[in-house]
Amino acid sequence: IDFDLILENIKYLNMLAGEGISQVEHTPQGARLRQAEPLPLTLYQNGIITCNGAFRPYQDPSTQQWLQDIMDGYFPSELQPRYPDGI
């Protein structure tokens, strides 16, 4: 696993997702600025934890797909149902 590539691509994907940029959120009283909620990712020597979920070992095929998507420069495909308009 190329951790340097993963970290580099996560920084790039965060930039694409608008990290640090506020969006206008309309409320009944008017509007306010809101930043997108971050999706936590913790990398360990033998696996990952994403979105405050369960530990996922690197041998798990879904974890391998998640990391391969990142290494290929894409958002993880398993997040698409949760964020159908993009993350």
Identify any residues that bridge with 31 across adjacent strands, giving them in sequence order: 26
Q: Residue holding tokens 């999706």?
A: 39
Identify any residues that bridge with 59 across adjacent strands, giving them in sequence order: none
Condensed to tens digits (0 to 9), the pLDDT of residues 31-59 reads: 888 877 788 899 999 999 998 889 999 99
Give the residue-averaged pLDDT of 61-81: 92
Other C-beta atoms lying within 10 Å of the C-beta of residue 70? 21
CATH of 3-82, one of 1.10.287, 3.30.420, 3.40.1580, 1.10.1200: 3.30.420
Burial class (CB in 10 A: 0-12, 13-18, 19+), 27: exposed
Give residue limits of the domains in the chain. 3-82
Condensed to tens digits (0 to 9), the pLDDT of residues 8-29 reads: 999 998 888 777 777 788 889 9
Q: How far from the centroid of its chain's Cα atoms is residue 76's Cα? A: 7
